[in-house]
Every structure is written in structure tokens, then in C-alpha cells.
């Protein structure tokens, strides 16, 4: 496959996603106030929902996806024709970020879990309708992320599965666009300084720390979205702008975050600090439930939870309390074992080649703490903390000024307390950075700093110049790191992005699919690796 086709596919799908966001907003939600970045996230939301619903009836084939993206591009052209003059600056930013994102998409190495079960799950969606009990084949199939369904829509004629690993880059692309548009819109109003600084933090995390597409998996996109969620929540409680619009955005963000990783359900509790700050609490709740997007978000949530259930017999795997005893259920002792293993792994008590001899005792209380300090805190968490404090120090001196100014006070203390509580929940139950630690640590460090920095006086021209220089440095660092990564992959993996820009599909796991297909086609004595199949209403149920 040529680099031209690979790049063109990435660009056209970007336009298709925005097209679906536009058509859904214009004719269904009718808010008509989304910027180009949020139209992208709304497009991901709609397309992912469509993939969930469609796969119940049909496989997500290349022909299906070709039709989907053909209409998406048509919708985008309608949007472009109608809005280009109004949003010319946003379109310029989009084109810039599309070019910038090319350095993300050229990668030889995918996420470790991509070979283990991500690809296999996407491959199954592309070849079969939704099957019941597939969690019996692979533990990864019991925790299906929405990104698998979104990525299944990247399976196209000629390309086949060459770009299905790019799902995460679309989150990064549109989040970057949102953050830059916000900075552009807020830069001349001193009352928005705190939000500008939070947007800068989002850009730093997204582009410097999460610069490797191969490390995103199902975790990092969700964590960038959480930072964006807090920006919107602070905006909601501190300013009087269109609250219907902000509430719609918050509903979309929470839906996407939970769908990427079910344990982020805890972020629904953000409604508590939001309500505390509202004088008219009932009216706010009423407004949320009257939003059209809320009904679609509820349907989306049902689809996500339903998929967990039909895969494993648990509504949230591996939470044993959520499990139901049905034919295809994972045995409850196995659910408990995997729950324990996830805790062991996050508390440095297990690796692919090691496991402590006393797991139940190890995960109790803080028995794991000293081992976690030795084998995880040093050097993963410590390196991240040092990086965060170094950036905080740089930003402090970069935006420091003895001269102060009076600005609107930001309501943040209850949210900050909420973040600290989330941090303690994370630290006690699953203290691995990929399980929600990156954004919590960053927010705890930077929110007090940004509250302090917002009072520093700068003339508009001087402040805008500082913003331009800093954003340029962030993007240049990200660019240089990705160029260095590509050079390293060229040396280590013999990766030549000019002639073969995609990852190596030869090493992806499709053995599970062949096992499933063999059982589907079986006529009698249908047992494979202790897994049975039963056909009910022309639907296959796999069980043990």
C-alpha cells in the first residue's frame, strides 16, 4: 500500500467524521453551536453508536464502511460550503492539525494489547454479527471498548485492516482542535486565563506525554477527554454562556469516556459538585434530562453495557456484583480471579512472568505499598511526577509577573476536593497510571498553580505572544519526538513508511476468530477448547 493512499484515507475519514457530527447536530440536536473540534467528537459518538447497532444485525464490512464514509464526506462538503467563511480560522487550524497528525499515524508498533485482543475483536466485528458469550474465548473480549466498534469502521476496500489501529488518533486530532479553538477564543479576555492554562495542560499531556499512538490503547484517549471534561465543567459553573450547549458537550464527553473504559463510570458523580455550585439545582437537572443528546447518550450507554453483558454475563466486568447467571456467563470464580489479577497487576503484584505467592493477602489494605514503590513508583510514577513538577516550574516562571490584576474568581475548591477523592480511590484500588492516574496527578498539581497564575498581569499583546511561543514549543517537541520514534522504528523494525506505512498485520491474532467460525459452522459435536455452542433463534451462544 502506498503512502498516498494511506494518508488520503486518514484525511477523508477525518472529514467524514466531522460530516456526521454536522448532520446530527443540524437536523437532530439543533444546537448549531458546536465548533469544528466538537463536531468531530460528536461524529465519533454517532458513528460508534451506529457500529454498535448495525453489528447486531450485520457484520461491519468494507462495503458497509465505504457507503458510510461516502455519505460522511458528502455531509462534510455541505458543511464546508455553508460555514467556510464563518469558520475560516477553524478550518485552517483543522488543516494544520491534519498535517501535524501525519507524524502520529506513521507507526510500525501498535499497542501490546492490539495484538492480544484489540485486532481480534475488530476482525470479528468486520466478519460476523454480534455473537453471544465470546468472552469465553479470550479475557480481553470481556471488556469491549467502544474504540473497537469505532475502529471497525476503518475497515475499507483495498486498505482492509491497514488503518484500523488509527482509531485513537482521531480523538487526539479533535481534542487538539478543541483546545486550540478555545485558546483562540479566550485569549483576549483576562477572565478566561484559568481555562486557557488548563487548555495548555491538555495540549502538553496529549502531544508530549501521549505522543506515541502505539501506547494509547483504550486508556489514554479517555484520560485526555477527562481533562477536557473538567475544562467544560469549570466553564459551566463559572460563566453564564449558553448552558444548554455546555451541558450537551459534558453529556457527550462523559458518554465517550465511559464507553472507552467502563470503570470511568465514577465520573457520572461529577454531577454532585456541579449541583453544589448551582442555585437552581432542579432546573439544571431538568435541563439535562430535556436535552436531546441525553436520550442518545442513554441509548449509547445501554449499547455499551449490553455488549459487556452478552460477552461475559456481567454488566461491568470483572465486577462480580454485576454478573448474572446465564448460559454463557463466565464462571464466578473466574470473574473473582480476574478481578484479583487486575488489582495485583496495578499494585505491582503480577506481570506476565511473575505473580506474588499470596495474592489475597497482598492486595489487602496497603500490604502492596512497599513492593509497588520499588517496582512501579520507581521509575514510572516518579518519572512522571518529576516531569509534571518540571513543567509546572517552567510555566510558573514563564507566566510569572509581580504585577497583579483583578479578575473574576474561579469556583474550583469543591471540584479540587472531588479530584483528590478520585485520586485516593485510584491509589487505593488500581494505582497504575494507565488506569486513570495520568490526568488525576496532572490536575492535582496544576489547578492550584493555574489559580495563582491567572492573577498575573500581562498586556494582551504580550500574553498572546507568550501563548503562541509556548504552543509552538509544545508542537515542535511532539513533532521531534515522533520523528525520532519513526527513525528508531526504521532501525529496529526495518519500518519504511514510504513504501509500507501501516503496521505489520502478519503478527495479529486471528486464531480466536477461526475458533469462533469453526463453531459457528459446526453441525454436530460442537466443542472447541472446552467451549460449546448452541443456536437459539439463529443466534450463536458460546458457553462452557
Q: Does one domain contain both 479 and 527?
A: no
Q: Does one domain contain both 135 and 182?
A: yes
At 537 the pLDDT is: 78
Per-residue burial over 298-321, b = 16 or more CB atoms within 10 Å of its CB, e = otherwise: eebbebbbebbbbbbbbbbbbeee
- Domain range for 539 is 516-543
At 353 the pLDDT is: 80
141 near 159, Cβ under 8 Å?
no
Q: Does one domain contain both 279 and 409?
A: no
At 291 the pLDDT is: 94
At 528 the pLDDT is: 77
Q: Which three cell numbers stand for residue 389?
A: 513538577
Mean pLDDT taken over the chain: 94
Number of domains in the chain: 3
Please indicate, yes or no, if residue 353 is contained in any of the structural domains: yes
pLDDT in tens, 305-358: 999 999 999 999 999 999 999 999 999 999 999 999 999 999 999 987 889 999
Residue 158 has a CB neighbour count (10 Å cut-off) of: 9
Q: Does one domain contain both 375 and 490?
A: no
Q: Does one domain contain both 121 and 255?
A: yes
Q: Does one domain contain both 418 and 520?
A: no
311 near 142, Cβ under 8 Å?
yes
147 near 126, Cβ under 8 Å?
no
Q: Does one domain contain both 444 and 473?
A: no
Helices 460-493 + 167-186 axis angle, to 10? 170
**CA distance linking residue 109 with residue 105, whole number of Å:** 11
Question: Per-block average pLDDT, block size 10, for the chain (544 residues)?
Answer: 92 98 95 94 98 97 98 97 93 97 93 90 96 94 96 96 96 98 95 97 97 90 96 93 89 97 93 93 91 96 97 96 96 95 94 87 96 94 97 97 92 96 96 96 98 95 97 98 95 90 80 89 79 87 93
Q: Does one domain contain both 456 and 479?
A: no
At 217 the pLDDT is: 87
Element containing residue 342 per DSSP (H, E): helix 332-346
Helix (H, G, I), strand (E, B) or coil at 4: helix
At 67 the pLDDT is: 98
Please indicate, yes or no, if residue 338 is contained in any of the structural domains: no
393, 425, 460 - which closes a domain: 460
Q: Which three cell numbers stand for residue 171?
A: 480523538
Amino acid at each position: 500500500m502506498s503512502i498516498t493512499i494511506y494518508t488520503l484515507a486518514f484525511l477523508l475519514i477525518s472529514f467524514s467524521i466531522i460530516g456526521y457530527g454536522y448532520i446530527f447536530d443540524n437536523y437532530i440536536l439543533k444546537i448549531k453551536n458546536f465548533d469544528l473540534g466538537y463536531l468531530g467528537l460528536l461524529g465519533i459518538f454517532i458513528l460508534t453508536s451506529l457500529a454498535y447497532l448495525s453489528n447486531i444485525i450485520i457484520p461491519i464490512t468494507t462495503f458497509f464502511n465505504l457507503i458510510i464514509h461516502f455519505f460522511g464526506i458528502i455531509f462534510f462538503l455541505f458543511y464546508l460550503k455553508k460555514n467556510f467563511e464563518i469558520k475560516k480560522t477553524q478550518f485552517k487550524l483543522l488543516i494544520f492539525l491534519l498535517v501535524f497528525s501525519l507524524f502520529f499515524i506513521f507507526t510500525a508498533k501498535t499497542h501490546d494489547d492490539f495484538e492480544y485482543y484489540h485486532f481480534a475483536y475488530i476482525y470479528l466485528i468486520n466478519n460476523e454479527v454480534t455473537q453471544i458469550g465470546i468472552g469465553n474465548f479470550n479475557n480481553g473480549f470481556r471488556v469491549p471498548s467502544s474504540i473497537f466498534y469505532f475502529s471497525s469502521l476503518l475497515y475499507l476496500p483495498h486498505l482492509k485492516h491497514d488503518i484500523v489501529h488509527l482509531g485513537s488518533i482521531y480523538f487526539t486530532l479533535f481534542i487538539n482542535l478543541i483546545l486550540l479553538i478555545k485558546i483562540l477564543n479566550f485569549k483576549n479576555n483576562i477572565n478566561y486565563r484559568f481555562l486557557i492554562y488548563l487548555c495548555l495542560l491538555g495540549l502538553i499531556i496529549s502531544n508530549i506525554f501521549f505522543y506515541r499512538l502505539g501506547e494509547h490503547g483504550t486508556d489514554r484517549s479517555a484520560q485526555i477527554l477527562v481533562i477536557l471534561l473538567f475544562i467544560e465543567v469549570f466553564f459551566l459553573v463559572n460563566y453564564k454562556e449558553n448552558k444548554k450547549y455546555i451541558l450537551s458537550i459534558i453529556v457527550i464527553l462523559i458518554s465517550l469516556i465511559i464507553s472507552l473504559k467502563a470503570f470511568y463510570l465514577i465520573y457520572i458523580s461529577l454531577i454532585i459538585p456541579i449541583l453544589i455550585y448551582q442555585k437552581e439545582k432542579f432546573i439544571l437537572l431538568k435541563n439535562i434530562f430535556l436535552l436531546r443528546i441525553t436520550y442518545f447518550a442513554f441509548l449509547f450507554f445501554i449499547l455499551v453495557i449490553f455488549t459487556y453483558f452478552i460477552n461475559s454475563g456481567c454488566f461491568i466486568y470483572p465486577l462480580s456484583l454485576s454478573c448474572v447467571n446465564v448460559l454463557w456467563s463466565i464462571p464466578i470464580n473466574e470473574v473473582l480471579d480476574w478481578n484479583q489479577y487486575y488489582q495485583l497487576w496495578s499494585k505491582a503484584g503480577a506481570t506476565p512472568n511473575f505473580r506474588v505467592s499470596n495474592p489475597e493477602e497482598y492486595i489487602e489494605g496497603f500490604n502492596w505499598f512497599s513492593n509497588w514503590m520499588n517496582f512501579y513508583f520507581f521509575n514510572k510514577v516518579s518519572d512522571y511526577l518529576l516531569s509534571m513538577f518540571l513543567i509546572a516550574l517552567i510555566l510558573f516562571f514563564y507566566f510569572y509577573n509581580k504585577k497583579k490584576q483583578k479578575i473574576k474568581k474561579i469556583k474550583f475548591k469543591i471540584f479540587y476536593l472531588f479530584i483528590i477523592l478520585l485520586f485516593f480511590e485510584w491509589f487505593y484500588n488500581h494505582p497504575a497510571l494507565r488506569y486513570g492516574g495520568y490526568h488525576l496527578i496532572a490536575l492535582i498539581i496544576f489547578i492550584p498553580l493555574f489559580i495563582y497564575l491567572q492573577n498575573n498581569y500581562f498586556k494582551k499583546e504580550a500574553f498572546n505572544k507568550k501563548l503562541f511561543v509556548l504552543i509552538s514549543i509544545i508542537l515542535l517537541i511532539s513533532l521531534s519526538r515522533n520523528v525520532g520514534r519513526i527513525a528508531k522504528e526504521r532501525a529496529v523494525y526495518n519500518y519504511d513508511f514510504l513504501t509500507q506505512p501501516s503496521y505489520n498485520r502478519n503478527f495479529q491474532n486471528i486464531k480466536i476468530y477461526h475458533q469462533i467460525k469453526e463453531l459457528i459452522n459446526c453441525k454436530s459435536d460442537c466443542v472447541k477448547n472446552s467451549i460449546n455452542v448452541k443456536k437459539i433463534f439463529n443466534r450463536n451462544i458460546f458457553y462452557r
